[in-house]
Structure 1
Amino acid sequence: NQYSRDPRGEELVKDLIHELRLSGKRFVDPHFPPDMSSIFVDPAAGYANAHVAQTSRRDQDPFLAGVKEIHWQRPEHICDVNATPKVFSGTISPDDVVQGRLGNCYFLAALSSAAKGDDDILVNDLVVEEGADVGLYGVKFYVNGRWTTVIVDDLFPCVKQGAEWRPVFASPRANLEDPSGEKELWSLIFEKAWAKLHLSYEATNEGQTDDTHNYLTGGVCSQMPINCDSDADWASVLELTDPDNFAFLSTSVRDGMADKGLLHGHSYSVLDAKESRVSPGLRLVQVRNPWGKREWCGDFGRNSGLWSPELQKEMREVLMEDGTFCMKWADFSRHFAVINVCDPRQLCGLFDDGRARVVGALAYWVAERTAGGLPGHVTFGYNPRFELVCAGSEVIVSVYQPDPRYAELVRDALPLEIYVYVFDSDPGPPELYQPLLVPAAGGGRGVGGPREVLRLDDARQAAARIQVEAGRRYWLVAAAWGP
């Protein structure tokens, strides 16, 4: 369809589904098998924490604390065996996402914010669900600047609780909008594909929400600092949460402000912001805890007496424990310091037809060959170099490095501090580079020298929007700290 990402990957998934139907078999993934190797980074150390007591902070407990005897189960055997498994049941909602015994709140917070909206376009397109009958799904992630489809089966790690098999990690949960008698699987499928991408569930035990947003959307990530009860910041949040803007937001609690139900060191989704018409002057922000519980218990929390029926209807607030809650803007801005923003529209906004064009290039730093160091080194000119000519006056430059969670061969060397420079004129052969023309403070440069436009500092990816002259030739140089 017109929204499809990675159509070639989607076609390959459908070909595999067809082969499975002809064989009469259900899919078992040989590359992410239902065994210890898919759960633990080191399978030999599996269940090492089985005798460690669990706490209420599942995101800070040792991995799989108190968990043993994991069995892999198909959807029909999970939870209520009388409920019919569905990839999507009713509308897609942030309340479909519930965290399990895995410290991946960053991922589930990103997934929750991607699930908001009335048309469900994004999440629907990211999963190829036609193979439900043979237990095969494809999930699309934006990996290092390119859409990639990850194939998974529908076997999920479970433990026995009473008479039911319950997923160890993310779980299906019905919300008020879902048809009765169904159990929804999409969050489990996404979580498993995310684990496969990183080689095991344990490898995904920590991460960054804004980086995960980039994996889910390909959008440009940035951070918006919040000043306490600022009118300008409120206006920005209103704009970002407007459904037409298609931005994805997350946040975490300020140091020393973990009170009234809020958790320090934990990721939350920012779902909405509204200025009430029923109560003029009242500004409310809607937030979600991916646990599906443990909510804000201050003003306008679930048990607050400040809700009127009219205000509740206006805010579409269901006063039940589902992880989603409202806060006054003054309280929100006091407790949260930064909003992480991922905006897919920035790429599309560069073109009149609203369609993004992405051109990628792969490069390496090889010692004594292409690892030239920063501009102060005489070898700087040997760094990877790319010519750039733009039809318009703006371009977004992104840089990615391997995710150390799945880059096994270079895990100990990552992340690198990476810089991108631009030359406005041909820098000439590498051996003629003049190291005296180094960037000045604040991103300036010597005459004819390189200008720093992007810095990747202790992160997997970053992007910068730069002004260019249409039709003019530029040279981009990627450099790391030392030759």
Structure 2
Amino acid sequence: MPPPAKSCDVRDMGALTSPLKFLDQDYQKLLQESLSRKELYTDELFPPNSCSIGNLSHKRNKIDYSQIVWKRPSELVTNPCFIVDGVSRFDYKQGHLGNCWFLASVGALTFQKDITKQVIPAEQSFSKNYAGIFHFKFWRFGEWIDVVIDDLLPTFNEKLVFVHPKTSNEFWPALLEKAYAKVCGSYADLDSGRRSESMLDFTGGVHLHFVLNEAPAYLWNIMKRAARAQSLMCCGTHKGEAHKHCPSNGIVGGHAYTVTGVSKVMSNSNPVKLVRVLNPWGRKEWTGDWSDQSPLWSTVSGTESKKCHEVLDNGEFWMSVEDFTKFFKSLDICCLSADFLDRSSGCHWKSQRCIGEWTENTAGGSIQTLETFCKNPQFRVRIEELNEACPHEDAENIVVSLIQNNKKRHRKEQKHYNIGFYVFEMKGEQVEGGQRKVFDCTNPVAECFAYQREVMKFLRLEPGEYLIVPCTENPGETASFVLSVFSKHETYFE
């Protein structure tokens, strides 16, 4: 079978402890050079001009982007700080940019202190060794990268244009947003996106997507376990203009939110399962049952009510899991490990990841073009006996994820092919006859396709040998990809 064009050895990738230098910029070297020259750093590769803003002429707001002035925090406040009393979901609110998908992920990030330290390196400040230079780490397509920025921020009428700090002298949210804008090409490249992109870029973990009207009955239990694990959780509403007037229940259409809590309370001796949600606008809240002003809180004991209930206009609110699945469209969970999916503490999911490439010789297209399909990179998976420590009756035991990377500098210019993968079960005689015989004689046991950066699917596979074939819809569509397999049983992947 054709091998993937790049090595499958994760050790070849940019590790978290030794990330790749984005655009070949070395943070420590640039910092020391600026300190020795006693000059504040200015980033030539993401300069303070219109190129870094990008094209936002379509935005309907009162900002004249030709009149933007780039200023350092010390020019805006007298005592700028990088972080004030730790990072919190209440430190910021969305600015004049449609990047609620990114800020919802930031809100989820603030709950996971270990992951926050990975993304936002410690010991950065506006006092000790300050030289106008900062850096952040992101996971991009199988590799960790270290991204350098200066602290010149776009302003209009003396106010920040994009994400706003709620504490006027706290600047980590604006600098994190700038670093991510640099990775994506410009601020305009952050305008609209999918929550899963930034969640994966913060963690490099396993991403799980649930369509809420098809979600399993035990979804709340999954969310409860995810909340205890190192997970980021975000959700989105049904399509609609994000800036339309909110409907009467306060939920904004076509908008991304952060899931910030999962709890159960006793209401008149009846258990009620609740989900807490945050609007990255920092305002506009749900007004139905279990909202801040809901009379249902009077049916809860004082101790429980005090623990959960706050009447604050901060964009955060509680609602029942039934209303959550009704008024929200989808839920994304991104975690370092998929262990939270199982009730058994003895069940540990394993992950394996490969970087591959569809080249002119290996971009064979979908199975509809069988004569070229067998040219695609192929990965053999062998699943050993199911782990008795893991509950497995009718439960999925494999998650397959495929991410495409078209390597365009600007995120908006990245053409997302219709990508996906097929999974074939390999019988003994088919293995001996070669992969073409598998494709000729066997229907795939699973497949998944979408016009997205990432496609993922839960699978239930019995012990045996399988072939995973990642591909684009049409032959000749070239790009690199990351294929990940997460399994709660002993699995061999090559």
Same fold flag (TM > 0.5):
yes
* Paired residues for 1:21-420 under 5 Å: 21-41=35-55, 48=57, 61-62=59-60, 69-78=67-76, 81-82=77-78, 84-117=79-112, 120-132=113-125, 133-160=130-157, 165-174=158-167, 183-226=169-212, 232-241=218-227, 244-254=228-238, 258-277=247-266, 280=269, 281-307=271-297, 310-315=303-308, 317-346=309-338, 358-366=352-360, 369-376=361-368, 377-386=370-379, 397-402=400-405, 406=409, 411=413, 413-420=415-422
User: 1:7 and 2:21 equivalent?
Assistant: no
User: 1:68-121 CA distances to partner (integer Å, 9 max, x unpaired)?
Assistant: 51111111223xx23x3222211322112310000000110111011125xx22
Report the aligned-residue RMSD. Answer: 3.9
The residue matched to 2:93 in structure 1 has which SS?
coil
Q: Comparing both structures, which one devotes a greater share of its residues to strand?
A: 2
- Is the contact made by 1:86 and 1:185 (CA closer than 8 Å) also made in structure 2? yes
| 2:417–2:472 CA contact under 8 A, matched in 1 | no
Shift of residue 417 of structure 1? 2.4
In 2, are the aligned partners of 1:275 and 1:283 still within 8 Å (CA)? Answer: yes
| C-alpha distance after superposition, 1:162-204 (max 9, x if no partner) | xxx2110001113xxxxxxx72222212211111111110111
Contact 1:64 1:101 in 2 (8 A): no
Amino acid at match of 2:258: S
Deviations 1:349-387 (A, max 9, x none): 99x998976543231231xx3232333512222222456
Assess if the C-alpha contact under 8 Å between 1:375 and 1:439 holds in 2: no
- Which has the bigger relative contact order, CA under 8 A and spacing at least 6? 2
Q: Tell me which residue corresponds to 2:450.
A: 457
Q: Deviations over 1:122-165 (max 9, x none)?
A: 112211254541122222211112222221111111111xxxx2
Distance 2:154 2:105 in 1: 22
Q: 1:390 & 1:22 partners in 2: Cα distance? A: 57
The answer on whether the counterparts of 1:252 and 1:338 sit within 8 Å (CA) in structure 2 is yes
Residue type matched to 1:24 in 2? K
User: Please, which runs of 5 or more residues in structure 2 have no aligned partner?
Assistant: 1-13, 241-245, 387-396, 476-494
Q: How many residues align?
A: 430
One-letter identity of the residue aligned with 1:203: D
* Unaligned residue ranges in structure 1 (runs of 5+): 50-60, 175-181, 445-451
